[in-house]
Amino acid sequence: MKDAANTRPIEFKGATLGVMTARLRDIDPMRLADAMHTMLGGMPDFFNLEATILDFSGLTTPPDSVDWASLASLLRRYRLQPVAASHVPDHLVDGAKRIGLAVLDDDALAAAPRQTPPAAPVPAPEPAPVAAPPTAPIQVGTMIVDRPLRSGQQVYAKGGDLILLGGVSHGAEVIADGNVHCYGPLRGRAIAGAQGNTQARIISTDFGPELIAIAGVFRTFEKGIPESVAGKAAQARLSGEGDNQSLTMNALQTA
């Protein structure tokens, strides 16, 4: 007799889905297009079809209207998939829904999975036995890749650091929730602190990426790598605070 569970035409299971958040400080499609072109170096295939939430909390004044179709089209041009919107003023909700976006309220945002490693179960208040589970967030192990990454390949180290022993070619992409260490030529795109870790760093023994990003702050090199770090052992990290954070790079001392 067949298992009834195996004959069901549809099943629903819980899942944790990493999403990109696009925090908008302007909703004019032309100004946004110019800003994204500058930020991403005009590369239309920079992203990899990541699900994206449009966050309107960065707007100082709620707009009277939003050109939702143009906004969604702009994001798709860079291979982002807008799926929802948050902090949407009441008078704009219907427009968001008309183009198929889910409108997330505060309760939905609070219930959504956080973009950090999951926390371990909280132990009961009574004294815990020696073998009790830890209360600190679970740390995901470091990922080590010992082969060169070719154009079009992507590697993501979820919840930890990424160590690359064979280098990264042009057109490849490496992503880590922690630090990115490249012990070889770094020529593709390197993203560290993908879930918002502002302390993450990108380190390479031969620095020459197409693009770097840490905790959502991007820098492209369409005008070339600065001479002080080009082809050298170097690191990139964030400096400054809040909206004034920027990416800085410096060469590393080697023996």
- Please say whether the beta carbons of 153 and 135 come within 8 A: no
Q: How confident is the model at residue 12 (pLDDT cuts 50, 70, 90)?
A: low
H or E segment at 190?
A: strand 189-192
Most confident option among 31-45, 95-109, 117-131, 144-158: 144-158
The predicted model scores a pTM of 0.51
- Taken in order of first residue, the domains within the chain and their CATH numbers are 18-111 (3.30.70.260), 143-251 (2.160.20.70)
H or E segment at 94?
A: helix 93-98
State how far the Cα of 165 lies from the Cα of 183, in Å rounded to an integer.
5
DSSP symbol at 6: G
What are the φ/ψ torsions at residue 135 (nearest 5 degrees)?
Answer: -95, -10
Using one digit for the tens of pLDDT, what is the confidence trace for 71-85? 888 888 888 888 888
Using one digit for the tens of pLDDT, what is the confidence trace for 236-251? 999 987 778 889 999 9
- Please say whether the beta carbons of 109 and 190 come within 8 A: no
| Top-confidence residue, 191 or 121 | 191
Q: How confident is the model at residue 43 (pLDDT cuts 50, 70, 90)?
A: low
